[in-house]
Structure 1
Amino acid sequence: MKKLSYGICFALLFSCNVWAADLNAIQIETLAKTNLSWDGSHLPSYSHGTPEVTILRIKIPPGAQLPLHTHPEINAGVLLSGELTVVTEDNRFLHLKAGESIVEVVNKWHYGKNESQEIAEIIVFYAGAVDMPITIKK
């Protein structure tokens, strides 16, 4: 019994050190923290109603352009690969490269286009409300 107790103690001791070493390797980087969208506009207050989070993975082929649209809810994303240009109706634009984040414009007509030679893949997080659309096409 004594040997079993020692064995358990050693196992716990060594597993804690490995776990602690793994924690030291964890890296956290804030990609975006703001109350402004990418064009400098203030973000609106959150919608009333039951909160609903939507996370989309969007893949835009080379040369493709999304239709003109707007978002009534706050959203933000990270471009995983490729390049993407977002253009507002008044011709303001933001060019994103892989790894960069975007806090999207809200209630403003805009579109995205992929002018690169590879698929633009972006993950977008929408902080909306139940029964509210996240995108409205013109």
Structure 2
Amino acid sequence: MRYVIYGKIFVAVCMLQLFSAPLAADSGGIQIRELVRTERSWDGNLLPAYPEGQPEIRVLSIVIAPGEKLPIHRHPVINAGYLLSGHLRVHTLDGRVLDLQAGETVVEVVDVWHWGESLGEDPAHIIVFYAGRADVPITTLRE
């Protein structure tokens, strides 16, 4: 239970930072809002240094039907996501839990086994940005 509360507090702090970030507008009506700025993943751990080698950026749109669970997996690269719709709950093997609602961001855990599940009536639709290396997979499934 402590980890669920910690996850919600961390998300609340990120959201507070999100809404306190300055908005910039020009005469054309353009607004820029910083969604997240952090050196830590959602579990509070510092992000690792970027590896040497050819950088590669990937952006995925992932839709998880209501009631579906992802397999246990980990990401060897830094990634961050923005939940467009639905309710996504993320679990780590050591019992930490993060609940995301539509409009919230997440900086994912790196090299930590975890899985997500779509809760509620709507699909969880998340856009995830991976900052890795061209020869490193973005996801590894647990055997």
TM bucket by the smaller chain?
Answer: 0.7 to 0.9
Structure 2 gaps, min length 5: 1-25
Larger Rg over CA atoms: 1
Partner of 1:114: helix, strand, or coil? strand
The structural deviation recorded for 1:97 is: 0.5
Find the counterpart in structure 2 of residue 54 from structure 1.
58
Structure 1 gaps, min length 5: 1-19
Matches within 5 A, 1:113-128: 113-128=117-132
Opposite residue 46 of structure 1, the aligned amino acid is: Y
- Alpha-carbon RMSD across the aligned residues, in angstroms, is 0.9
Q: TM-score, normalised by structure 1?
A: 0.83
Q: Does 2:128 match 1:135? A: no
Q: TM-score, normalised by structure 2?
A: 0.80
User: d(CA) in 2 for partners of 1:101 and 1:30?
Assistant: 11
The structural deviation recorded for 1:50 is: 0.2
User: d(CA) in 2 for partners of 1:29 and 1:53?
Assistant: 21
Native 8 Å contact 2:90 2:99 kept in 1: yes
Q: Does 2:86 match 1:82? A: yes
Higher helix fraction: Structure 1 or Structure 2?
1
Q: Does 2:115 match 1:108? A: no
Aligned length: 117
Offset from partner CA, 1:30-74 (integer Å, 9 cap, x none):
111101000001100011110000000000000000000000000
Percent identity reads 53
User: d(CA) in 1 for partners of 2:94 and 2:128?
Assistant: 23
Native 8 Å contact 2:89 2:117 kept in 1: yes
Runs ≥4 in structure 1, deviation > 4 angstroms? Answer: none
